[in-house]
Structure 1
């Protein structure tokens, strides 16, 4: 029995962007369940974040088979919340998941074989209690499996009704071009590429965005806040409870946050304040200025972070003069 009734005005203030040349629109801000939705986290907080996101017009929830920790538990958490709170709204949601990173022992528990992708998605659907996902991704390219096999598996999954659209993640520009061509020939076009992109990580500008534009695919940017560096968390250095201060963090490290970077972060923060927005909002607007970017994928550990991030919609556009000023700071 659901206790949740969605905000009736949820679609009024969110911006929805067409993803490439498809018929699908994504919210400008999507919620990723990479961290903070595992079985080590509290269900009450997960529920608050999911429901508040939907109330703000966030319709897209992004998962992967290995999200947690433990691996698989983020999908289980989402599945429980889908059943208890959001089941009436399933047709208003975009649910995405992925396979490709290590998930179970033996030769079929990772990478891009047909065996792994199909088996993994079957497990994901079971964990989430779904008949299909809206988007299914190959999470990383497999150097040992022919691209035709990996893309053929994505095509098969769509034809079986287990996914409506397919995507790739962490593929370079050349691999992306190949994936687009193969999927086009199979009749299941590539919908989306999920790539890291932020003011501090601009590799997608070196050919990838052009390939997506030419191939009619969209892009969703993950880590648009550079693992939290482009927020107010690090303005005065490294907080003791931050990801960078944690010795077991596999991502942001203390040595990533140099004096030079702190200076840049503070200058960007001043620039954002001059526009009447937070540093995080400025960083998201900067990523969303690219026409190929349909959505930015945010992570959150509490509701207030989601609310702040969605506040980017109040001041989304950047003039060419402002972009130049930001470039000067970044240099």
Structure 2
């Protein structure tokens, strides 16, 4: 199935906008459902929408069937589990810091992926790449270390850990999509979405049923706001996966920096949280650092 060369960019912008809206809704649910409960909303209520998407794709995009093999499921499990942990850490950070600053922390994802490559895979980074890492790290320090905020390092660490796991998740899901070797990239991406959400729904529902049954009941009782958050989560993931099917994770995540701008609009217009000049400087340094890494590094 042919795709226009710029189509991945459209998919990425749509995904970033939907994800920003979903993050804002999940953040509002954290106070009533807790971190794990609010995390589960995107999976439990998003899974039915993924099935609808898959049905629509099968009707609209005729394609030969393809087998779901062990390699595919291994990639999906990696992506699904990493995304659960990443989302929980992100929401925990949002409880302690502003929405826009936490979103900026998660944008360190490309930098952390590069570092993992050096440590684990023995990759070599250029001088520009190291400059980018220093600039982005300075942004983290700018937002985290300030007089009178001794506990500011905790949300920074939560945000950075979330970014790392989001990177692992993206790699896992892209690996799953590419392993299918399907005629239609749309069908491959949507199939991966359904399988990923199914795994995440089963894992978290089982966990809550065993360790926090009242929390699981609370999720079902909060179905009205949760349904829309679930739809936004599934919708955003659908477009992320479409972008991953067409382009490398590095390029997709570079353009995804636009989410920081979207988060700033949400923070000022909806959540009514102020972003200080120091936070603004930190966000700018993170964006510049990540941009340098993926353009000159």
Q: TM-score normalized by structure 1?
A: 0.25
Q: TM-score normalized by structure 2?
A: 0.27
Structure number with higher helix proportion:
2
